[in-house]
Amino acid sequence: MTKNEVLERLQPIFRDVFDDDTLEINESTDADDIEEWDSFNNINLVASIEKEFKINFTLDELQDLEDVGAMADLIVKKV
């Protein structure tokens, strides 16, 4: 899977988790850009991504995911 394909599949997940149908993500989107991106939604986001891509993140991977781009790179590596 390419990074762009991953980003395309991440888009609806973000919209669903943050309950915002107009949300547009790109590689540099991070927690500062989305007001609702708090600890609780972060957990939901991780759980939804793991389910969608059938992968399991480790704590090491989750402890400093800087932005959506870093997340997508990681997913490409794991699937």
Partner 1 sequence: MQLSSIIKNHLKDASLYDKNGNKIDKKKLYDEYKAIKNFLIKNIQPNKSVAIYFERDYKYVLAFLACMDIGITFIPLNREWPQKRIEQILSLSQAIIIEENDIDFTDTQESNIFYKNSILYIIFTSGSTGIPKGVKVKREGFLNFLLWCDNYFKDINSNDRMLLTTDFGFDIFLVDISLFLTKKLSLYISDFKNNVFKILYDIDKYQITVHSTVPYNYSMIMNEDVYPKANLSSLKHIMLGGARFPYNLYYAFKDKLPKCSIYNFYGPTEATIYCSIHKLNYNEDKELYKNNVTIGKPFFNNEFLIYEDELLIAGKQLMSEYLNNEAKTKEAIVYLNNKRYYKSGDIAFVNESGNYFIVGRKDDTIKTAGFRVNLSDIDSYILTLEYINNVATIAIDNQEGENDLIAYIIVNNKDNIKINKIKKDLREFMPAYQIPKIIKIVDEFPLNNAGKICKKTLKNNFLKDRK
Chain contacts with partner 1 (rule: CB under 8 A): 19, 31, 37-44, 46-47, 57-60, 62-65
Our CB check for partner 1 shows the closer of 1 and 43 to be 43
Structure tokens that stand for 77 in this block = 């590596």
The CA distance from 60 to 15, in Å, is 26
Shortest Cβ 49–partner 1 spacing (Å) = 11
CB of 2 to partner 1, least distance (A): 26
Of 24 and 59, the one with the shorter C-beta distance to partner 1 is 59
Token couple for 32 = 């500062």
Tell me whether residue 22 or residue 63 sits nearer to partner 1 (CB atom).
63
| 46 to 34, 41, 56, 64: CA distances (angstroms) | 15, 8, 9, 13
